[in-house]
Structure 1
Amino acid sequence: MVGFETGRVGQSEALLGAWLLAIAGFVDAVAFVVLQGSFVAFMSGNTTILGSSSANGHWHPASLSAVLIALFFAGNVGGAALVRYAGRAAHRLLMVSIAAVILVGTIVANTVSPMAGLVVTAIAAGLINSALAAKTDVHVGLTYVTGTLVKAAHQLVEGVGSDRPWAWSKTLGFWAVFAGGAVVGGAAFSKLGTAALWCAVGLALVACVLPHRTDSPTTVGR
């Protein structure tokens, strides 16, 4: 019975990880257009923009990238603090925080400034990366899709001749989910503009009720 429950826990975390990745991909695609080439979930890209723009004296994109990196980092710090100090309530608090930040960003984007609203969502992207960062069966860095591709490649090679030849496909699936979220986000933005972010709010609210390992009795006392 324990083995069965453990399997269910792993499946619930894979579902949650995929759902959060889809949200991140959706929002990042909208941000890419609104922020004219900057990201809210891809800090490697923002770091390159920061360095290149600074070197060439293009201070607006450099400063925007710096702000996005700082907010993403702050979101990760906040998420890590919840995971460490909030106990069994940490997961639900994280999900609610993600939904709340995306909601605030959506309201700001649609009433005050599209750019300011999307900048706010960088905090949510940071929180998403903390959601499954510890004690989880999902061993990929969520929005760090470069690392996901690297891990899938290594698993593919390690799986040759082993009893798990297709383990890499599950990891690669997380990349595909992020890409799919970006496709949907880009398409939604082309039709709805920043109002498309309300879809991300809805997805984030659904994440608040998705099952998680803390819902399983097998995690009690661990």
Structure 2
Amino acid sequence: MVVGIRRRELALAVVLAGVSGFLDAVGYISLGGYFVSFISGNSTTMAAEAAQGAWHGAGRAMGLVGLFFVGVLAGSVLSRIGDGRTVVLWATTGLVTVSAVARSLGVGVPAVLLIAVAMGLLNATFLRGGEVSVGLTYMTGTLVKAGQRLVDALTGGPRWAWARHMVLWVALTGGALGGAFAYAHWHLAAFWIADGVLFAAAVTTTVVRRVTQTAIETPRS
């Protein structure tokens, strides 16, 4: 749960939610109305297209769902290796880098499709007991929790617990807005912006977690 994580973890979650929104907007525009991380939207699109006999569109939506699922599987595996969080972050950064390079080489659509795998992978960043504790690419449940916590605040509960949930939605929405503007100016070269942010997040997380672990392991005199 968002309310159960530390401030620096919340800061990382906000950054990653923003990147998720950014990449989803770039993917949505470039693919003509299909998402690379909003799988509920792709599922609805797939069903609507199939009902109308538009099998090509239904297949495209289903393919994106499948690629996202592959990313989820990969994230579940990688999260069990070493310091799972940093492994997942570096793997996600690597996939986005490959996508950006592929786009630079003129391989457009496959580059975008690889982002769907990266987004599935990204959701393994925050795990607790093997389950996702902070969703980074989907916000329906987050908004539900924000509403519930806001009512709690108005009836004598924790005053600002709702804001921890709401800030993730704001981050994703702001990231999506940034992604739309970036695509309008640089098209798929906008991948490099997201890649730079992910790289910085991965480096920072790696350093912070190593310093923290060293401090824990160092005996006090």
TM range, normalised to the smaller chain?
0.7 to 0.9
User: Could you say which residue in structure 1 is the equivalent of 2:164?
Assistant: 170
User: Could you say which residue in structure 2 is the equivalent of 1:65?
Assistant: 61
What is the CA-CA distance between 1:139 and the residue it aligns to?
A: 4.3
User: Could you say which residue in structure 2 is the equivalent of 1:86?
Assistant: 81
> Aligned pair in 2 of structure 1 residues 82, 192: CA closer, same or farther (>3 Å)?
same
Q: Secondary structure at the match of 1:168?
A: helix
Count residues with an aligned counterpart: 209
The answer to whether the 8 A contact 1:34-1:114 is kept is no
Comparing 62-71 and 207-216, the one that deviates more: 207-216
> Aligned pair in 2 of structure 1 residues 18, 146: CA closer, same or farther (>3 Å)?
same
In structure 2, C-alpha distance between the alignment counterparts of 1:109 and 1:22, rounded to whole Å = 21
The answer to whether the 8 A contact 1:23-1:181 is kept is yes
User: Could you say which residue in structure 1 is the equivalent of 2:7?
Assistant: 11
Please give the residue correspondences for 1:41-80 in structure 2 after superposition, counting only pairs within 5 Å.
Answer: 41-80=37-76
The answer to whether the 8 A contact 2:36-2:116 is kept is yes
User: Could you say which residue in structure 1 is the equivalent of 2:120?
Assistant: 126
Q: Which amino acid aligns with 1:10?
A: R
In structure 2, C-alpha distance between the alignment counterparts of 1:103 and 1:20, rounded to whole Å = 15
The share of aligned pairs that are identical, in percent, is 32
1:151 partnered with 2:137: no
In structure 1, C-alpha distance between the alignment counterparts of 2:15 and 2:134, rounded to whole Å = 14
In structure 2, C-alpha distance between the alignment counterparts of 1:133 and 1:79, rounded to whole Å = 10
In structure 1, C-alpha distance between the alignment counterparts of 2:134 and 2:81, rounded to whole Å = 23
Query: For each residue in 1:1-43, what CA deviation from the matched residue of structure 2 results, as whole angstroms up to 9, or x when unmatched?
Result: xxxxxxxx71121111111111111111100100100001100
The answer to whether the 8 A contact 2:17-2:137 is kept is yes
1:31 partnered with 2:33: no
In structure 1, C-alpha distance between the alignment counterparts of 2:21 and 2:175, rounded to whole Å = 5
User: Could you say which residue in structure 1 is the equivalent of 2:101?
Assistant: 107
For structure 2, the residue ranges without an aligned partner over 5 or more in a row are none
> Aligned pair in 2 of structure 1 residues 76, 219: CA closer, same or farther (>3 Å)?
farther
The answer to whether the 8 A contact 2:145-2:165 is kept is yes
Alignment TM-score, normalising by the size of structure 1: 0.86
Query: For each residue in 1:57-76, what CA deviation from the matched residue of structure 2 results, as whole angstroms up to 9, or x when unmatched?
Result: 11222111111111111111
> Aligned pair in 2 of structure 1 residues 185, 159: CA closer, same or farther (>3 Å)?
same
The answer to whether the 8 A contact 2:19-2:197 is kept is yes
Query: For each residue in 1:85-136, what CA deviation from the matched residue of structure 2 results, as whole angstroms up to 9, or x when unmatched?
Result: 3132x22211110011111112223323322211110011011111113269
In structure 2, C-alpha distance between the alignment counterparts of 1:133 and 1:207, rounded to whole Å = 17
For structure 1, the residue ranges without an aligned partner over 5 or more in a row are 1-8
Q: Secondary structure at the match of 1:87?
A: coil
In structure 1, C-alpha distance between the alignment counterparts of 2:127 and 2:87, rounded to whole Å = 15
Task: Tell me how large the CA RMSD over aligned residues is.
Answer: 2.1
> Aligned pair in 2 of structure 1 residues 127, 197: CA closer, same or farther (>3 Å)?
same
User: Could you say which residue in structure 1 is the equivalent of 2:154?
Assistant: 160
